[in-house]
Structure 1
Amino acid sequence: MIHIRFIAADQSHQDIEAAVDQSLMKAAVDANVKGIEADCGGSLTCATCHVMVGAAWAEKLPAATPDELDMLDFAASPVQPTSRLSCQIRLTPELNGLEVHLPASQH
């Protein structure tokens, strides 16, 4: 299990424990993290699992695919340099302690 901190737009946070090798989106949905809507269930056809990865963690992730970057154009909140779709982030042991920021809205 790895530890993840979700930081809301109001700076409140929710800490969860998640299994390795699932998506960040799935871990968030399973833990009822407010702010991750995941309308498409992780099929990369919406942008309602938009997160901003903490700067220290962004370099530990594989680069976003062109499809992910295209889908981020549909995010309801402004996209930041560290914006990602949580459905495209696979949890690995190296991500223990991951911090992600949630946008003010997914819709």
Structure 2
Amino acid sequence: MAKITFIDPAGEQRTVQAEPGSTVMEAAIRNDIPGIDAECGGACSCATCHVYVDEQWTEKVGGPEPMEEDMLDFAYDVRPTSRLSCQIKITPELDGLVVSTPERQG
């Protein structure tokens, strides 16, 4: 299991356990993390699971693929560390990952 910490816009932190092979979005939905709407269920077609990857983790997480970059055009307040959480696969190397949710989705 990997621990993922979600930080909401008010600074409240919630740390959850995530199964390797699942996605950050799936961990958020399973644990009722506010701010992750995931309207498309993880199909990379809605941008409502937008998160900001903590700068210490951006290299390990990696950048978005072209399809994800296209969907990020629809996200609110996109930043250099923006990712769609449905596209971040949990690996043992991501144990301790920290992401923040935007003020609103799309």
TM-score band, normalised by the shorter chain?
A: over 0.9
Equivalent residue, structure 1, for 2:94: 95
Q: Distance in 2 between matches of 1:6 and 1:63?
A: 19
Amino acid at match of 2:42: G
Equivalent residue, structure 2, for 1:5: 5
Q: Distance in 1 between matches of 2:22 and 2:4?
A: 13
Q: Distance in 2 between matches of 1:78 and 1:10?
A: 16
How big is the shift at 1:18? 1.0
Aligned residues: 106
How big is the shift at 1:61? 1.7
Instruction: Give CA-to-partner distance per residue, 1:30-64, whole Å, 9 cap, x none.
Output: 11111100000000110000000000101002321
TM-score (structure 2 length as normaliser): 0.97
Instruction: Give CA-to-partner distance per residue, 1:14-39, whole Å, 9 cap, x none.
Output: 11011111011011101111110000
What is the root-mean-square deviation in Å for CA atoms of aligned residues? 0.8
Equivalent residue, structure 2, for 1:61: 61
Amino acid at match of 2:98: E
TM-score (structure 1 length as normaliser): 0.96
Structure 1 runs of 4+ with >4 Å offset: none
Question: Percent identity between the aligned chains?
Answer: 48
Equivalent residue, structure 1, for 2:28: 28
